[in-house]
Amino acid sequence: MVDSMWHHIFFMCLAEPLKPQYGGGILVNPGFNNGLRGWSKFGPGKIEQRVSKGGNNFIVAHSRKEPYDSFSQKLYMKKELLYTFSAWIQVSEGKAPVTAVFKTASGFMNAGTVRAEAGCWSMLKGGLTVNVSGPAEVYFESKNIGVEIWVDSVSLQPFTQEQWRSHQDESIEKARKTRVRFHVANPDGTSLAGAIVSISIKKASFPFGCAITSSILNNVAYQNWFTSRFSVTVFQNEMKWYSIENIQGKEDYSVADAMVAFAKKNGIPIRGHNILWDDPQYQLNWVNSLGQDQLRAAVQKRVNSIVTRYEGQVIGWDVVNENMHFNFVESRLGGNTSTEVFQTAHNLDPNTPMFINEYNTIEDSRDPTVTPDKYLAKLGEVQNQGPTAIGLEGHFHTPNIPYMRASIDRLAAAKLPIWLTEVDVDRGPNQATFLEKILREGHAHPAVQGMLMWAGWEPNVSNYRMRLTDDDFKNVPTGDVVDQLINEWRPANIAGATNKDGFFEVSLFHGEYVVKVSHPLRNSSRTTHSLKVVPRTVNENTFHVKIQA
């Protein structure tokens, strides 16, 4: 159970709702200060306006017979726009999930879900894009038809693609970059105008990587392609239980060990994926055949074996992978098993973050299993077992970027590390475009601390969900997108001249740089310096350089 402290942090609930974001955006009467103007009954239930003791107006759906019995507003939505959505929700008794649904020209779309409760207001934050421009209708639903749905301060705000990109750029500037001033002076301390400052990056701070497969071990072309681009990795299958102990009692770590050695040699950190996987279809036959006591012993042995072997050598462990969708170990060994595994793994490797790793929290607003609120509740169960982190797999079909942002916003309330751990996109004509949108959104969000794509290479495999190159390591369109973003986030060379006061100012991504300073009139004078750019902690960020006469 989530204790009261975690409940307070994760599930902020206010006595009175805040005002509508963006003044309600394009919605009519978003705060219900003009009765029910703009709103209509949706379904066979009843609706009415009520006023709180503090004088706040809100709308109520009661006498509900169906989950969708509530209230709605009709509007017109445009295909090319991105819509953020929010509302403050309460239910009349207990707790119940409430979802905002849009009935659009191409079908029904969930904009977001919140776990509402009686006695206080919770914020539903979400968003959506539509496939076709046309009339739409927003309404609310809850499968618990025994509760009244109370809603206030509703907002639907459209943004153009340009406005959205501008916000991403602003966020990147603030979260990923720092402005640095270079001051170049003569030996006597006088400022030197016209000095050339050349800056080249050695290592970017933001971890951006891709999964690898064992094929990398004996393929120099694969090695060169990978190491020239990525700063973090994860093994697609080689650390998994079925790869290590295919036959009961016969563990074989040789391939995983070789891949760890390869990554270490190239200075590339590794995510540990995974200790256990809760999906029944990926259990070995010998595991499935075990009785309860035998299985408990086998699970304990597996956890001890892999975590002990790679203790301190990975930057995070996916502990019980996809544990919110599946429950193989819990169904056999009891409901607390996953929490116990988190505790065991933490005891064995106490300084490494233990990840909940799940899909559809940011990809699909229709999946009720892993809404941001349910993810936060799961975090509350395992948080006390040691340093915990949030793993969002990111297996996208058609991305809903506003919903992705809203979900990460919601999870950021936990103030824990958030990673996109397995990003890929379904094959199709828009695959590369969609991949770029997803990666840009992840990189722009200040709560995201790293991103990995799920595109490990194998030779002669035609059924890749997403690949970045062909078999000769020539980029396909998704690979072009990745290279474009790497060049953007890790610019090779930046140069400029100092002004009359000896200053040159530039905004740099966080990372390690080599700085060379010279002057066109002093061919023999050149100085080289190391520079580490970190998030700004003081107002002054001036790098002072003296150049010899």
Q: Give the separation between CA 25 and CA 157, rounded to whole angstroms.
A: 4
Tell me if the bond preceding 56 is cis, omega within 30° of 0.
no
Q: Is the pLDDT of residue 3 over 70?
A: no
**Which whole number is the average pLDDT over 299-317?**
98
- Provide the pLDDT confidence category of residue 269 given band limits of 50, 70 and 90: very high
The tokens describing 99, both together, are 């979802």
- Provide the pLDDT confidence category of residue 7 given band limits of 50, 70 and 90: very low
- Provide the pLDDT confidence category of residue 543 given band limits of 50, 70 and 90: confident
Express each pLDDT in 348-374 by its tens digit: 999 999 999 999 999 999 999 999 999
CB–CB of 439/425 below 8 Å? no
Express each pLDDT in 152-185 by its tens digit: 999 999 999 999 999 999 999 999 999 999 999 9
Average confidence score pLDDT of the chain: 94
- Provide the pLDDT confidence category of residue 5 given band limits of 50, 70 and 90: very low
Residue with tokens 């169904």: 331
Express each pLDDT in 330-353 by its tens digit: 999 998 999 999 999 999 999 999
pLDDT at 8 (0 to 100) = 43
**Which whole number is the average pLDDT over 509-516?**
95
- Provide the pLDDT confidence category of residue 11 given band limits of 50, 70 and 90: low
511-519, strands of its sheet edge to edge? 493-497, 196-204, 511-519, 522-533
H/E run at residue 439: helix 431-444
Express each pLDDT in 189-247 by its tens digit: 899 999 999 999 999 999 999 999 999 999 999 999 999 999 999 999 999 999 999 99
CB–CB of 52/16 below 8 Å? yes
pLDDT at 6 (0 to 100) = 39
3-state secondary structure of 249: coil
In this prediction the pTM is 0.94
pLDDT at 20 (0 to 100) = 97
Q: Give the separation between CA 227 and CA 208, rounded to whole angstroms.
A: 12
pLDDT at 505 (0 to 100) = 93
Q: Kind of pairing, strands 122-128 and 57-62? A: unpaired
Q: Is the pLDDT of residue 10 over 80?
A: no
Q: Is the pLDDT of residue 298 over 80?
A: yes
- Provide the pLDDT confidence category of residue 496 given band limits of 50, 70 and 90: very high
Partner residues linked to 140 by β-bridges: 100
Contact partners, residue 398, CB within 8 Å, separation at least 6 = 131, 430, 434
Which entry of 363, 422, 436, 441 is annotated as an active-site residue?
422
Q: At what angle are helices 431-444 and 161-175 packed, to 10 degrees?
A: 40
**Catalytic residue at 422?**
yes
In degrees rounded to 5, what are phi and psi of residue 83?
Answer: -115, 125
pLDDT at 374 (0 to 100) = 96
**Catalytic residue at 173?**
no
Which entry of 148, 238, 245, 322 is annotated as an active-site residue?
322
Helix, strand, coil shares of the chain, percent, nearest 5, are 30, 35, 40
pLDDT at 464 (0 to 100) = 84
The tokens describing 65, both together, are 């017979």
Q: Give the separation between CA 228 and CA 122, rounded to whole angstroms.
A: 46
The tokens describing 443, both together, are 């990189």
Q: Is the pLDDT of residue 307 over 70?
A: yes
Q: Is the pLDDT of residue 537 over 70?
A: no
**Which whole number is the average pLDDT over 35-63?**
96
Q: Give first-to-last CA distance, the chain, whole Å.
A: 70
Q: Is the pLDDT of residue 438 over 80?
A: yes
**Rounded to whole angstroms, what are the CA distances from 338 to 6, 34, 355, 375, 382?**
19, 50, 12, 14, 8
pLDDT at 540 (0 to 100) = 59
pLDDT at 1 (0 to 100) = 33
In degrees rounded to 5, what are phi and psi of residue 224?
Answer: -65, -45
Q: Is the pLDDT of residue 67 over 60?
A: yes
Contact partners, residue 312, CB within 8 Å, separation at least 6 = 349, 351, 352
pLDDT at 248 (0 to 100) = 97
pLDDT at 548 (0 to 100) = 62
Burial class (CB in 10 A: 0-12, 13-18, 19+), 409: middle
**Rounded to whole angstroms, what are the CA distances from 22 to 25, 218, 294?**
5, 56, 58
What's the 3-state SS for 349-404?
A: CCCCCEEEEECCCCCCCCCHHHCHHHHHHHHHHHHHHCCEEEEECCEECCCCHHHH
pLDDT at 376 (0 to 100) = 95
Q: Give the separation between CA 98 and CA 371, rounded to whole angstroms.
A: 11
